[in-house]
Amino acid sequence: MSTACNCNLSHNNKDIWVISEGRISDIDLSGVIGEKVDGPYKEYKISDIGRYLLNPHSIEVKKKLIGGEIHYMQGIIKKIRKSIHKTLPAFLKKRKQNPSLSPEVIVSRYKMRIPSMKDSELEVHLNKIYDQLKSYDSFSKKLDLLDPPNIFQIVGICEDIGGNYSYLKLQGSIEEKIKYLGKSIAKDVGVILNKAYVAEGLYELRGFDFQSYNPAVSYRLFSYNNGKEHKACVLTSLNQVEFYITDNHLLKHMFLLEQSLKANPSLCKVFELCTGGEANPIKLFFNKKLEIDYAKSPLPAIYQDVLKTHNTGSNSRNLIKPILNYLQIGISLNYMLADDDKDDRTFTHISVLHDLRALEPLRKNLPDVYAAVAKHGFITDSGRFYLLDSINGYNNA
């Protein structure tokens, strides 16, 4: 029998929350969603933050426009060359391609960053100087040399805070696209993403206004089975479906994040900085492949504390360390401080959760250690976990 408890740790996360505990609901859900509901179903409350993370609708984030990809009209010779290239074997295609088959990429090397300032007049003045200096960048000269009649497409190139690149679809004629590049280069532009969940385990946070977060606001989420698959939906205040959730991993992420907020005051504090305007969140990442090797590192604080109070023998550390590398999940929050003298630093907070199933070898060999650690565990709809470690750090963006 597990000694993990379904305990309430809400004293740690105060007003920061994502999803409530579920309860069996008795409303006629099938009449609301218009499809069969098989068996009992649960109702949850989700916060503004939870609704944003789960929402499948598009979001807009700011990225820096750093250049453009120029696609030229193809003459008959270039078309023939391209046709021949398509028929080549794969190993020949890997060889250096003829430049005539590739678009031209022009990138601005001017990356001056003006930090936000309390003196608005000084900020305006520096921005004017910034715009004047851009004319000396080779990017502007290359734009002036472009011949619109020979170009059939221009795509913008953007860079985010983490140094990742993406394309930006530009609107209008070729002339308008060239003009837009010249006016907006090295500036933040709006980029539309399909949703906040951008890749496996990865959420984009810059599309949410954390300062508008209100812990008193909640939305109703129902988790159910329609006889074929497990699904969830969020309802509006009028009991209409706002959106469906078909990826069960998203709900699991919400449960893990909620319990991590309750168990880890340090993570909760970072979210409070974001809602208070003192920090700007960037990314949230759920990662099962951490680069931390606990077999070669000092024992995390939770085990050091347990070993101080239990006489377990000299070999206990050798029994504990190997199991710490299994069944982990890291919840990483990347953010920047709003008032940071070193403007380019990206901070990272990692909560390392450990599945209690990994501790089964300790149940027999070190039962007192197992029981002491399991008391810190929590039960969620995603499984039984405890907070193994809490890590903070930063790097230059």
User: What is the DSSP annotation of 259-272?
Assistant: HHHHH-HHHHHHHH
212 shares its domain with 273: yes
**Choice between 215 and 78, residue whose per-residue pLDDT is larger:** 215
Question: How large a percentage of the chain has pLDDT more than 90?
Answer: 57
Strand pairing report for 188-193 and 345-355: unpaired
Average pLDDT over residues 357-379: 93
154 shares its domain with 174: yes
pLDDT above 90 for 213: yes
181 shares its domain with 299: no
- Looking at residue 297, what is its pLDDT? 87
Tell whether 363 is covered by a domain: yes
202 shares its domain with 186: no
Binned at pLDDT 50, 70 and 90, residue 332 comes out as very high
Per the document, the length of the chain is: 397
Distance separating alpha carbons of residues 136 and 188, to the nearest angstrom: 20
Average pLDDT over residues 206-223: 96
305 shares its domain with 212: yes
166 shares its domain with 233: no
Tell whether 116 is covered by a domain: yes
210 shares its domain with 342: yes
Longest pairwise C-alpha distance within the chain:
83
Lowest mean pLDDT among 111-125, 202-216, 217-231: 111-125
Dump pLDDT digits (tens) for 297-312: 889 999 999 998 887 7
Distance separating alpha carbons of residues 320 and 323, to the nearest angstrom: 6
Dump pLDDT digits (tens) for 95-143: 545 444 578 999 887 655 555 556 667 767 666 665 665 555 688 889 9
Binned at pLDDT 50, 70 and 90, residue 397 comes out as low
Average pLDDT over residues 46-52: 98
Tell whether 317 is covered by a domain: yes
- In sequence order, what E strands does the chain have? 23-24, 42-46, 59-72, 104-107, 151-159, 165-169, 188-193, 197-199, 202-204, 219-225, 230-235, 241-245, 279-287, 328-337, 345-355, 378-380, 383-396
262 shares its domain with 380: yes
210 shares its domain with 351: yes
Strand pairing report for 59-72 and 188-193: antiparallel
42 shares its domain with 154: no
Average pLDDT over residues 253-260: 96
Dump pLDDT digits (tens) for 130-173: 566 555 568 888 999 999 999 999 999 999 887 788 899 999 99
Lowest mean pLDDT among 50-54, 161-165, 204-208: 161-165
Smallest Cα–Cα separation from 266: which of 87, 46, 12?
A: 12
Lowest mean pLDDT among 29-38, 55-64, 285-294: 29-38
- Looking at residue 3, what is its pLDDT? 39
- Looking at residue 79, what is its pLDDT? 57
- Looking at residue 80, what is its pLDDT? 52
**What's the number of domains the chain is made of?**
2
Per the prediction, the chain carries an average pLDDT of 85
- Looking at residue 311, what is its pLDDT? 76
The 10 Å Cβ neighbour count of residue 81 is 14
250 shares its domain with 130: no
Average pLDDT over residues 344-357: 92
Lowest mean pLDDT among 6-10, 131-135, 221-225: 6-10
- Looking at residue 114, what is its pLDDT? 52
Domain end (from 193, 216, 242):
193
Tell whether 79 is covered by a domain: no
Please report, as a single letter, which amino acid is at residue 136: Y
Tell whether 224 is covered by a domain: yes
Name residue, tokens 């919400």: 254
184 burial type by CB count under 10 A (0-12 exposed, 13-18 middle, 19+ buried)? middle
Residue numbers of the domain that contains 66:
62-73+102-193
Distance separating alpha carbons of residues 251 and 41, to the nearest angstrom: 14
Binned at pLDDT 50, 70 and 90, residue 1 comes out as very low
- Looking at residue 325, what is its pLDDT? 92
